[in-house]
Amino acid sequence: MRIRQAILSGLGAAVCATGALAEVPEGWISFDMAGVVYALPPDWAQVEDGDRLDGFMKGDPSVPSGLGFGIGLDDDGQEYLDEVTATPAAVVTLDGVAFDRWTFTADSDGMKGEGEVYVSTDPLDDGDRLVLLLSALNTPFAEGATDYAAILATLDLPEAGRAEPAPETGAADPAPATATEAGAALGGVLAVSLPEGWYRLGDDVAEQLVLMPVSAQGTVTLARGQAAQALATEAPAGATAFDGELLGQKARVTSWDGSLAEFSDGVTFRPGSYRLYQLATCLPGDEPLAVLVGGVEAFHNGTELKAVLAGLTLTLPSGSAACPAAAAAPKTAAAKPAAVAEPAPEPAPELAPEPAAEPQPVAEAPAPALGTPPPPPPDQGEPAWAEDSITASSEGWSLYQNGRYGTFIEYPSSYFTPDALPTNGDGRSFASVDGQARFYVFAQWNVLALDEAGLIAEDKKLMPDAQITYERAGPGWYVLSGLKGADIFYRRVLVEWPDGLVRVFEISYPQARAAEFDATVTYMSQSFGPGTSPGSPMDDGAAGSVSGGVTLGELFTPPRGTADRSAILDAARVPVESLLGRKVLFQISVLRTDGAWAYLQATPLAPGGGPFDWSRTPYAQDWANDMMSDVIMVLLTNDGSGWVALDTIVGPTDVAWYGWTDSYGLPEALFLP
């Protein structure tokens, strides 16, 4: 939140000082509510469209997880503040209008939220006060820093209610960093003195530090240890590699272009390019250091980056030395495997092709050597195998390909051996010959239609004892890495849209062997990917039927603002609000209809758009005992006179609509996103 507040303070001051609106970025969508004009990026979906409240979300509405923005009218703003635990923070001025700013937190049985509420100090033209809601649900509020600052800068407010810029009172926002602000990071090895307009996310013991400027033109990420190893996996196969220098240290630099529009060029958000610096010198214990610089061309070649790098001082402690070859060299497609220096003795056979040494007593046997991975295999195309296949590739490596879902990965087959094939055929697990490492790959259907943020949240619930030191996500993928006891784990997940298939690769190995596994894990991660899925149960969403059952017409999702959509949602609210005993808004994950049948899958929210309070419903005990989900499923039919709910399920913990395919003879196509 510190970054968000500082950026907002800086931009708000600029708007107040000039009295001029920020230019609406290219591609943004403008809205008008009761004379208040504003704009949002195109990736924000409108979830509420009313006379006195507009609501938007960036993220997964089915969890819900993500960022929210609301703009409404109220006589005093209290309706919105009553839903959360709010604290008065400051008086600010936006487009010449004074606002009371409140910060809030909400925590209702695992649904965590935080954000800010702005209530205009004076009424607008119609006597109502303008209310702005900035919220983050199960998501760090700081992730919305750039979007929120830019959205507020587009506000064009009515003349009535304008006031002279009011001085901030109460707990003031942090000011932009000055050249004198200093601190330590990465466990004390990095001294940080930020120039004006830069902000930091991280403390002096974290493995990773992220620096960002107000301009949002780029970011600088510095990491050590496992976080540095995880950064190395960001470089795609075939990326350009060359020798360079950073922070006074020699480094191997890997450069590539990104595809996600996450950096600002002053007008809109565009993809940038990345440079990964893997320093040639490691900390004691062969602990690597890495720096990832991302941004638009003007950032890489401009003064902002030079200024922040000039304020970073790296001090290597005694015992630092040249990194092992596997840790220091970039893992690009052109890398050629190096020979293993010494073969491992029995009973743990080596991965390299040299013959094993004579057997030695188990107590004296060193861990098997992993060696360095071979160049990536040729493109596997779209396999269509009915059974799992393991095919030898080169130099002790093999390609595993799943027959059911087509997932494939290349792995060191002289070190890992496959476990028995699971009965459902969704993937395979593998164990190392010395019992020190394991990995598995599998695929499953994303039946709740969770986005990347929602899937990450679910993964974290399944490993409460894990210490996650690295987390990164993009469209269609995410990575979690850290420690589970004495082992390092690395989990990479691919999410296929709109099919709804989730593919998972996870490996664990001893922390003491991190430098040895680094190159292997990177290569395996880059070789991990999808193929075809013959006989897949996923319907393509077109018209369909089941034998002896209902034949559907063409399925579609009614657009927002249409009469069809409103009629279905109004009919669904009748049983849902009756069962819950409270008014609700729907965050929709699935809405499908052919005009005669309809299926709604959603998550309820409070009327103000905040987290729904299950403790005030008949389901309070089940919710407190974690015996239910926050999902609502409603099946509806239209007999020509209007929509009526036939069946309703609250809080399912499995794919509950399967029962409706039998009881009502409906095809699965109706229920799939």
The mean pLDDT value for 174-194 works out to 65
Strand partners, 481: 470, 490
The mean pLDDT value for 62-72 works out to 81
Checking if the pLDDT of 375 tops 50, the result is yes
pLDDT computed for residue 325 by the predictor: 67
Largest CA distance in the chain: 90
Strand pairing report for 111-120 and 129-137: antiparallel
The DSSP H or E segment spanning 325 is helix 325-328
pLDDT computed for residue 25 by the predictor: 79
pLDDT digits (tens, 9 = 90+) for 301-327: 888 898 899 999 999 999 999 988 644
Residue-wise DSSP of 248-266: TEEEEEEEEE--S--EE-S
Checking if the pLDDT of 181 tops 60, the result is no
* 617/281 Cα distance (integer angstroms): 58
Q: Could you tell me which of 470, 503, 510 has the C-alpha nearest to residue 234?
A: 470
pLDDT digits (tens, 9 = 90+) for 261-271: 667 776 566 78
pLDDT computed for residue 125 by the predictor: 66
pLDDT digits (tens, 9 = 90+) for 22-37: 567 788 888 888 788 8
Domains and CATH numbers, the chain: 2-153 (3.40.1000.10), 182-328 (2.60.120), 362-527 (3.40.1000.10), 563-670 (no CATH)
Higher pLDDT, 408 or 425: 408
With a pLDDT cut of 70, the percent of the chain lying above it is 72
Q: How confident is the model at residue 86 (pLDDT cuts 50, 70, 90)?
A: low
pLDDT computed for residue 388 by the predictor: 85
The mean pLDDT value for 215-227 works out to 85
With a pLDDT cut of 90, the percent of the chain lying above it is 12
Q: How confident is the model at residue 381 (pLDDT cuts 50, 70, 90)?
A: very low
Q: How confident is the model at residue 280 (pLDDT cuts 50, 70, 90)?
A: very high
Min mean pLDDT across 218-222, 316-320, 375-379 is at 375-379
Checking if the pLDDT of 172 tops 60, the result is no
Checking if the pLDDT of 484 tops 80, the result is yes
pTM, to two decimals: 0.33
221-257 as b/e: b if 16+ CB within 10 A: bbbbbbbbbbbbbbbebebebeeeebbebebbbbbbe
Q: How confident is the model at residue 14 (pLDDT cuts 50, 70, 90)?
A: very low
pLDDT computed for residue 63 by the predictor: 64
- In 305-425, DSSP assigns E strands to 312-314, 321-322, 389-392, 397-401, 408-412, 416-418
Residue 258 CB burial class (10 angstroms; 0-12, 13-18, ≥19):
middle
Joined tokens for residue 303: 């003064």
The mean pLDDT value for 600-605 works out to 89
Q: Using DSSP, state whether 518 is helix, strand or coil.
A: helix
Checking if the pLDDT of 374 tops 60, the result is no
The mean pLDDT value for 51-67 works out to 78
pLDDT computed for residue 547 by the predictor: 33
